[in-house]
Amino acid sequence: MTDPTHRSFLRWLKLAFIFELVLLAAITLVALLSLHGLRSQVQAIVDDQQARLALIHEMRLAVRERMLRLHMLLMETDPFRRDEYRQQMGEIASRFMQARAEVEARAQDGEERARLAAARALNREVALIVERVLELDEAGQREEARRLTLTQAVPRQAQVLARTDELLRHADADMYRAKRGPEA
């Protein structure tokens, strides 16, 4: 038989072991909840970065589409198709401005804001040239409109695309850092 002191010691030892197991379970539960919260935060950051990338891609696509529609307009003889191309150019410009506004709202640092401002200024120049091309075309000076398109609008549009590519590289690097975590 065991003496009462020994039984009391065993009872306290069992209680201490149970307490340790409960404590380990609580720590594990807190760690799992914390991990879930961190995963949610990382996913939100990654989703935001993906949305930025998609918006910048949308801007780039709109830039290319606008110039394509301008070329199609200058080559078309059917007045109904020409009106359709003009309307499409307006819709594309609207889509571009909406995407740019969303990207500007999501800008994360001064460097990105500076890139966006430079792209905006360059795009404004192209828009003025495109307006002039459309005016010349409307006045029946198609050859002058084509010349202006090829000598001024297309080279500046290439610069706009280069600026947009810079934004993509910057956003892509941010996405990579977001996926890797804070230590990257």
pLDDT, the chain, mean: 88
Nearest to 124 by CA among 156, 99, 149, 148: 156
- For residue 170, name the pLDDT band (cuts at 50, 70, 90): confident
Percent of the chain with pLDDT over 70: 96
Through-space distance between the first and last CA atoms of the chain, rounded to whole angstroms: 64
Query: In residues, how long is the chain?
Result: 184
∠ CA 18-19-22, rounded to 5°:
85
Helices (H), 76-153: 79-106, 110-138, 142-148
Least reliable range by pLDDT among 1-5, 14-18, 93-97: 1-5
145's CB contacts (< 8 A; 6+ apart) are 74, 133, 134, 136, 137
Taking 60 as the threshold, does the pLDDT of residue 1 lie above it? no
Residue closest to 59 by CA, chosen among 110, 119, 124, 113: 119
Answer for the pair 96, 63: CB distance below 8 angstroms, yes or no. yes
The alpha carbon of residue 90 and the mean position of all alpha carbons in its chain are separated, in whole angstroms, by: 23
* CA-based nearest residue to 140, from 77, 70, 72, 71: 77
As a whole number of angstroms, the distance between CA 21 and CA 15 comes to 10
Structural domains in the chain, CATH included, are: 52-180 (1.20.1440)
Percentage of the chain modeled with pLDDT above 90: 49
- Reduced to 3 states (helix: H, G, I; strand: E, B; else coil), residue 181 is coil
**Confidence (pLDDT) at 65:** 93
